[in-house]
Amino acid sequence: RLRLHDGKLIKDRRYHLRTYPNCFVAKELTDWLIDHKEAPDRETGIRLMQKLMDHYIIHHVCDEHSDYKDAKLLYRFRKDDGTFPLSKDVKVFMRGQSIYEKLVSMEESILKVREENSVKYQRTFLGCEMIDWLIQEGEVENRKEAVELGRALLEHGIIQHISNRHHFFDSDVLYQFWINFRRRRRLTELLNENSSRALSESPDSPFCLRKLNPDPGNTSFLSVQTNKEIKIVSAVRRSSITSLAGNSNPYFNSTPMLVFPPVAECNPKSVLKRPVTNEELLSPGAPYVKKTLTIVGDAVGWGFVVRGGRPCHIQAVDPGGPAAAAGMKVCQFVFSVNGMYVLHLDYQTISNLIMTGPRTLVMEVMEAIE
């Protein structure tokens, strides 16, 4: 966004006797992405911008197009017109980035390379040191507030205990910034996320089926279909990058990675008796009722499988998991996830929204009236 402002691609533009401030022409932006090697071709550029639209970062100036079109249409960054949704997650992320920038800019910073058990860790600090610094810099008023801030940063995956064994405490325990905010990222990384790739390769999207047996040696989930037939599908844990090496972190719930062992045979057939369209769901007098479910995930997931697309539906529910306890049932249609309307999205996108969101999941579902 800032580079586009500097390059004068974002500016006030006039169209049909009306001036639209701080906007860009889609076709010009696609050209810019290719010229600056942010995209190898127009198709990739379009996919990148659609990703930004799906995440409420850019939008059509009149909101007349939900898709990014490579044409002479005007779009705008939501940060430039005040419509960017500042959710709690975004606020915590921005707070973490601000604190990180202040720390790395200081001459005598508490962020240092430290060694523990013969392993070197980057961007580390002691919990008590961070609390002292937060109070000294006026970021918080007291130690209690500082601990609460530290815990929020840890729960959103911005900082972590170096071996993922502890939450954030006012002690001499060693923590590190998990995110290096100064690493320059390329837009194409948005299309190469491991979670999205793993989800698209899985025929049954079992990422959020809850593990029924907490024994770490048991690597399977039980997927219960409507015909009561139980099939074993591959295990998928909701975990941090570090847990890929065997260290599970029960507090980490941001940018989780997915691990897919060899996939066992499972039945990908939809539980729906017939296809249902969005128009049918939303038509006046339609035999559907909307319900709001609040699902508090455990250390390995929420206990359900989402499938299909436009609209997505609930394919399976673990009868002993958090989703079942909240009232989720198979064949319900997913209307919104954490306040975001999702009827127009496919299951891979919805799965990614869930996986990268908070542990407490709020979903609106539409259920057929019996």
Q: Is the pLDDT of residue 203 over 60?
A: no
pLDDT at 285: 86
User: Rounded mean pLDDT of 151-160?
Assistant: 90
pLDDT band at 87 (very low <50, low <70, confident <90, very high): confident
Judgement on whether residues 103 and 22 belong to the same structural domain of the protein: no
156 located within any domain? yes
Give percent of the chain with pLDDT exceeding 90. Answer: 40
Determine the Cα–Cα distance for residues 133 and 135; give it in Å rounded to an integer. Answer: 5
User: Rounded mean pLDDT of 38-65?
Assistant: 91
pLDDT at 221: 35
Pick the more confident residue, 27 or 263. 27
pLDDT band at 133 (very low <50, low <70, confident <90, very high): very high
User: Rounded mean pLDDT of 92-108?
Assistant: 90
Tokens 């060694």 -> residue: 115
Condensed to tens digits (0 to 9), the pLDDT of residues 180-198 reads 888 777 788 778 754 444 4
pTM over 0.75: no
Q: Which residues contact 89 (CB under 8 A, 6 or more apart)?
A: 156, 254, 357, 358
* Lowest-pLDDT range of 21-25, 32-36, 228-232, 245-249: 228-232
Q: Is the pLDDT of residue 283 over 80?
A: yes
Condensed to tens digits (0 to 9), the pLDDT of residues 17-29 reads 889 999 999 999 9
CB 337 within 8 A of CB 353: yes
pLDDT at 29: 95
Q: Provide the b/e sequence for 20-46 (b: ≥16 CB within 10 Å).
A: bebbbbbeebbebbeeeebbeeeebbb
Q: Please provide the distance, in angstroms rounded to a whole number, between the alpha carbons at the two ends of the chain.
A: 49
pLDDT at 111: 93
- CA angle (15, 42, 53) in 5-degree steps: 60
Phi, psi of 7 (to 5 degrees): -85, 5
Pick the more confident residue, 278 or 74. 74
Q: Is the pLDDT of residue 173 over 80?
A: yes
Judgement on whether residues 361 and 327 belong to the same structural domain of the protein: yes
pLDDT at 193: 57
pLDDT at 202: 42
User: Rounded mean pLDDT of 250-272?
Assistant: 47
DSSP H helical ranges for the chain: 2-6, 26-35, 42-54, 88-105, 127-136, 143-155, 194-201, 278-282, 322-326, 347-355
Q: Is the pLDDT of residue 90 over 90?
A: no
Q: Mark which of 24, 57, 77 sits at the end of a domain.
A: 77
For 1, other C-beta atoms within 10 Å of its C-beta total 15
pLDDT band at 211 (very low <50, low <70, confident <90, very high): very low
Q: Which residues contact 95 (CB under 8 A, 6 or more apart)?
A: 149, 152, 153
Judgement on whether residues 54 and 105 belong to the same structural domain of the protein: no
Determine the Cα–Cα distance for residues 70 and 46; give it in Å rounded to an integer. Answer: 7
User: Rounded mean pLDDT of 303-314?
Assistant: 91
Q: For the chain, how big is the Rg over CA atoms in Å?
A: 23
CB 312 within 8 A of CB 334: yes
Beta bridge partners of residue 232, listed in sequence order:
222
Judgement on whether residues 352 and 293 belong to the same structural domain of the protein: yes
Tokens 């701080």 -> residue: 22
Give how many domains the chain has, as a whole number: 3
Question: What is the DSSP code string of 91-122?
Answer: HHHHHHHHHHHHHHHSTT-S-EEEEETTEEEE
189 located within any domain? no
185 located within any domain? no
User: Rounded mean pLDDT of 29-44?
Assistant: 93
Enclosing domain of residue 335? 278-368
Judgement on whether residues 66 and 120 belong to the same structural domain of the protein: no
pLDDT at 282: 86
Q: Is the pLDDT of residue 124 over 90?
A: yes
Q: Mark which of 21, 48, 77 sits at the end of a domain.
A: 77
Judgement on whether residues 45 and 71 belong to the same structural domain of the protein: yes
Q: Is the sign of the CA dihedral 355, 360, 363, 368 positive or negative? A: positive
Pick the more confident residue, 190 or 215. 190
CATH code, 94: 1.10.10.10
Judgement on whether residues 22 and 54 belong to the same structural domain of the protein: yes
Q: Mark which of 154, 177, 200 sits at the end of a domain.
A: 177
Average pLDDT for the chain? 79
Q: Is the pLDDT of residue 212 over 80?
A: no
Phi, psi of 318 (to 5 degrees): -70, 115
pLDDT at 156: 87
